[in-house]
Every structure is written in C-alpha cells, then in structure tokens.
A = this chain, B = another copy of it.
Amino acid sequence: MLSIGIDLGGTNIVASVVNDKYEILGTGKLPTAVPRSAEEIFDDIASACKNAMNQANVNINDISSVGQGTPGTVNGDGVIEFANNLGFDNVPAKDMLKERLGDVPVYIENDANCAALGEAYAGCGNGASNFVAVTLGTGVGSGIIVDGKIVSGVNFAGGECGHMVIMVDGEPCTCGRKGCWEAYASASALIRQTRAAMDLYPDSAMHDIVKEEGKVSGRTAFDAMRKGDIAGTNVVNNYIKYVACGLINIVNALQPEIICVGGGICNEGDTLMDPLRRYVQAERYSIHSKIQTKIMKAELGNGAGVIGAALLGSKNQ
C-alpha cells in the first residue's frame, strides 16, 4: 500500500511516495516561493506529487491516500484557517488537492502534528501509541499522540506545548503570553541567553568562538563549555534546566511512553539528552511507578513531517 506525504513549508514543498514499511520510494521538491496565491502554491504541490510518483514509477491509481502537513491551523474540513508564514486565510486545502490529484482520499494536518505521527510510527517511537514529539527550533514545536492518534483538540489547534507558561510574567513570547516554554527552550532563546551571558562576561571563551564562526548560534555556549568556560557552562546548564522543566510538565500531565526531542540543538547528543533524563528522573511525579516515560532523541529529522503526513490516511483515522 502506497501513500503520498506532503510537507508544505515556508521555504519548500516536499512530496514523497511512501510504502507501508515507511520507506520513501520517490520525492518531488519545489520552492514554496511565498508570497504567492494559494492557487499557484497548490499547482506546485500537485507537480511535486507527480514528480514523486514519476520517480517512484507509480501513478495516482497506486496511491491509497494523500496526506499534507502544513503550518497553521487546519480544521476538520481540511481548510487551512490561518497560516501566517504562507499568508493563508481560510484556504480549502483538501478540496484544492482533490481538484488537482483526482479522486483519492486526502487528509490535511498541522505540520508539527504530522512530524509527531511520523516519529511515533516510523522513528524513535517504533509504534508507541502514547507519544509526544518536541522540536527545539526557532520555536518549540510539539505534537501529542494518544492511543495512536494525533490530539488536535476541538479546534485542531492542539499540541502547542511550547506555549505553556513555565515562568509567570517571564520573557515575552511571540504568541503574546509571557514566560512560555518556547521563550526559554527554543534555539532562539538559547541564542538570546548566550548573548546575555557574553555581555556580562567579556572574558568568556564564547567571544572567541563567535569571532571565529562569525555569529552567535545554538552551539556557541556548548562549544565554550567543552573548552571549560564557566559562563558558557552556566548558559548550557540553565538552558537544559528550562528544557527539562517543560518535558517534566508533559510527563506529569500525559505520562506518554516516549517523549521525542528533535531540532538542531539535539546534535549535541548525550551532552543534552543525559542531563535531561536525569532531571526527568528526579522530578517526575510518577516516582513510585515501575514504568516511566523514555526521553529519546528524534530519529527522522526533517523527514518526519513527510512520513507522518503519508500516515494520516492509514494511522490517524
């Protein structure tokens, strides 16, 4: 059984033909090239699908369903109600895809939720039916899987764990609240925390690293820590504490089998994951339970979204 997964991002449109072993048989990729009309973008989504099918040497009659992940809020009719970075306002994505691809079942979901579904079934979740995926990127994205299905909530806007406040009256967040997890645990927040420490400590090794690399990044403080720099070590320790705080909140609320942590920061590997696991172990409410949530590193990287989208028809209905 083959399906097509589409990842509609602010930069690229990626479509892949996926088999039931979660293997990608063919991929089409085109630039999203915003700002453009939704009509034009969906023409290119259809082209990317056709390119993927050509590469896989199949046609639309071989495809049992098409799933698309998209930024923003998608309602139960497959309408993208709002997606800021695409300039979409009530775009009937499901109908527009059906018009272009023919009579095939089509499912539209939020992209972070698709990525969670992908990791749950085909990535580090290995089929876990209660699973949360967290991505530490520009923001903190997340998707929640309960009983094998995406928790999208009454208005399909669910799963935004990044916008849970961990510090009342804390750092302002892009969402309008103050003190969101995202404002402390995203890569952007780490860069902000790194800059603040550099201002305070002009002798820190972080300054040399930034001079060499040309910019402050999510790696700067980690690299400084590896050189024995105290200010950098403190930035890393505080950042990990903030990440852990949100993870433990999720454990206490949902006790999933697995929380999967992804995003560029995860390239730090055990330097990040080991202390996160120690925090969770020390602070989880379920201290008396034999079975505990596992904290794992994401496996699929950017491919999670496409594979998760391809699974919408078979696993999420």
A-to-B contact residues, CB < 8 Å: 73, 75, 81-82, 130, 142, 144, 146-147, 149, 151-161, 163-168, 170, 175-177, 184, 241-242, 245, 248-250, 252-257, 283, 285-293
Contacts and interface: CB of A to CB of B under 8 A. Distances in A.
Given A146-B146, A147-B149, A154 B293 contact: yes
A176 B289 contact: no
Contacts of A291: 154-155
B155 A289 contact: yes
12 contacts: A73-B289, A144-B254, A153-B255, A153-B293, A154-B257, A155-B291, A156-B289, A163-B285, A166-B166, A168-B242, A177-B248, A177-B283
A164 B252 contact: yes
Contact of A157 (B164, B175, B289): B289
Given A147-B146, A245-B165, A283-B177, A155 B290 contact: yes
| Residue from A81, A82, A146 whose CB has the most chain B CB atoms within 10 Å | A146
A242 B144 CA distance: 25
Given A153-B254, A292-B155, A167 B164 contact: no
Contacts of A255: 152-158
Nearest to A238: B168
Contact of A248 (B161, B165, B166, B290): B165
A256 B153 contact: yes
Given A147-B149, A288-B81, A241 B168 contact: yes
A82 B241 contact: no
Contact of A286 (B155, B166, B184, B285): B155
Contacts of A285: 157, 160, 163, 175
A306 to B, nearest CB: 25
Nearest to A283: B177
A57 B317 CA distance: 44
Contacts of A158: 253-255
A283 B153 contact: no
